[in-house]
Amino acid sequence: MNAKKMSKARLALALAALFLSTSCTMGDMAVVPIFANLFEVFPQTAIVNGIISWPSIVGLFFCLIGGYLTDKMDKKWLMVIGFALYTLTSVFGCAIENVYYIAACRCLATGAGWGLTSTAAFAIIADLYEDENKRGTVNGWYNASMALMGAALSFIGGILAVTAWQNAFRTYWINVPILIMLIAFLPSLPPKKEAAAESKAASAASGKDLTGWYKPLIPIIIQVLVVASCYYVIAYMISVFVADAGIGNEAFSGTLSSVGTIFSFLANLVFGLYYAKLKKATGLPSFLVLGAGFLLMGLVPTRGVSMVCCALMGAFWGIFYSFFYTETTVVVPEEKQGTALGIINAVNGLCMVVCTYGVTALEGVMGTESIVPLFPILGVLCLLIAAFAAVLVIRAKND
């Protein structure tokens, strides 16, 4: 079923459920305010670190599994299964105050659950909207709702945790009505067996070999691997930059993070218009802005420069984020969209892990304990990807 065959009311409810399901992708935001408490309560520092980092690693494998399954089963029920797993293990994520139990629940909730639901969500949007411009618009709305959901979960979790850190887990009760909405409003979206058969028939008729379906995906993977690894330094380590640059305290770090999120939300609202104009060149301005932003923050680390850069980088990161998920569904055969989305989702998740370890490695190579001197290097990497993307765009126009 696609959007054209659904009533406006049914489609609106389905999209509302899908947008609210981003609570899974942003699930960790509800417990981010209590991470410091976990280090105080539990002496097993390595396991507490795992509560933070292990879900991303687990999620990598479930992104690939989810991508494979979206091409083999009804996407609605894959979404429901993944979100049900997330709901169960997040609502009862602190039912037993044991560090190993909490770590296991985190890995299942925002690791396995995220890998399945995030991949299924983008595949569902691709199924609902065959037109790539409309698909890009809805992907932008989905990612905009993700930014809002993350801010809401973090705010609510922080408020509830004031009386007791365990109360932050009560935030996840919001997932129960969302799960009910997914079951009630998402349409059945079985695998596209007809598309697969047609693709094979077209391949046989033309004499072309479609075994290399993944090749157009490789340039996107390269762009995501480099640029996302760089940007997640801003997303996850902005407080380190602020402290090392001596330009503020925790409050200013929070302000920079909020500014980036707000501008990402605003940019994604108009992503469809942006994508319709630039198509395959959509990512190029993002790479240029991100590169310039890293260079300015590294060379002129002041409060004003950081504020402006974080706003612009947040906006153009949001555009690139929507672009690579949209473009992934465009460059591969229809029956491989789920698998391709799973691969891209896994690469994106890998970047969340790479960013922290990459910073540590770069600091060791440069012989510095400050993150500030690393920013110009990150800027150069983004600009190199901009040059790479420009070559791809020129080649595409000449073909």
Is residue 314 a contact partner of residue 235, using CB atoms and an 8 Å limit? no
Domain containing residue 326 = 214-398
Mean pLDDT of all residues in 106-132? 94
Say yes or no to pLDDT of 264 above 80: yes
CATH number, domain of 55, equals 1.20.1250.20
Mean pLDDT of all residues in 124-143? 93
Answer yes or no: do 71 and 171 share one domain. Answer: yes
Say yes or no to pLDDT of 340 above 60: yes
Q: How confident is the model at residue 393 (pLDDT cuts 50, 70, 90)?
A: very high
Q: Is residue 381 part of a domain?
A: yes
Of the residues 145, 167, 185, the one at which a domain ends: 185
Answer yes or no: do 238 and 159 share one domain. Answer: no
Alpha carbons 52 and 161: distance in angstroms, whole number: 17
Answer yes or no: do 234 and 383 share one domain. Answer: yes
Of the residues 185, 205, 231, the one at which a domain ends: 185
pLDDT of residue 112: 96
Compare 198 and 5 and report the one with higher pLDDT. Answer: 5
Mean pLDDT of all residues in 377-385? 97
Hey, what are 303's tokens?
Answer: 């409060």
Alpha carbon of 243 to those of 211, 240, 362, 369: distances in Å?
50, 5, 18, 12
Say yes or no to pLDDT of 208 above 80: no
Answer yes or no: do 376 and 335 share one domain. Answer: yes
Q: What percent of the chain has pLDDT over 90?
A: 68
Alpha carbons 226 and 209: distance in angstroms, whole number: 30
Alpha carbons 188 and 74: distance in angstroms, whole number: 7
pLDDT of residue 207: 46
Mean pLDDT of all residues in 150-166? 87
Say yes or no to pLDDT of 195 above 90: no
Answer yes or no: do 226 and 333 share one domain. Answer: yes
Q: How confident is the model at residue 203 (pLDDT cuts 50, 70, 90)?
A: low
Say yes or no to pLDDT of 202 above 70: no
Answer yes or no: do 235 and 383 share one domain. Answer: yes
Of the residues 167, 185, 203, the one at which a domain ends: 185
Q: Is residue 192 part of a domain?
A: no
> In terms of Cα–Cα distance, which of 39, 163, 171, 38 is closest to 109?
171
Q: How confident is the model at residue 14 (pLDDT cuts 50, 70, 90)?
A: very high
pLDDT of residue 238: 86
Alpha carbons 37 and 21: distance in angstroms, whole number: 27
Answer yes or no: do 141 and 48 share one domain. Answer: yes
Q: What percent of the chain has pLDDT over 70?
A: 95
Number of domains in the chain: 2
Answer yes or no: do 19 and 60 share one domain. Answer: yes
Q: Is residue 205 part of a domain?
A: no
Q: Is residue 35 part of a domain?
A: yes
Alpha carbons 254 and 268: distance in angstroms, whole number: 21
Answer yes or no: do 228 and 335 share one domain. Answer: yes
Q: Is residue 47 part of a domain?
A: yes
Q: Is residue 105 part of a domain?
A: yes
Mean pLDDT of all residues in 245-272? 89
Is residue 48 a contact partner of residue 37, using CB atoms and an 8 Å limit? no
Q: Please give the DSSP secondary-structure letter assigned to residue 315.
A: H
Calculate the average pLDDT of the chain: 90
Q: Is residue 3 part of a domain?
A: no
Mean pLDDT of all residues in 261-267? 92
Answer yes or no: do 311 and 230 share one domain. Answer: yes
DSSP 299-311: HS--HHHHHHHHH
Say yes or no to pLDDT of 196 above 70: no
Answer yes or no: do 105 and 224 share one domain. Answer: no
Q: Is residue 269 part of a domain?
A: yes
Alpha-carbon dihedral 47, 49, 50, 53, rounded to 10 degrees: 180
pLDDT of residue 342: 95
Answer yes or no: do 179 and 218 share one domain. Answer: no
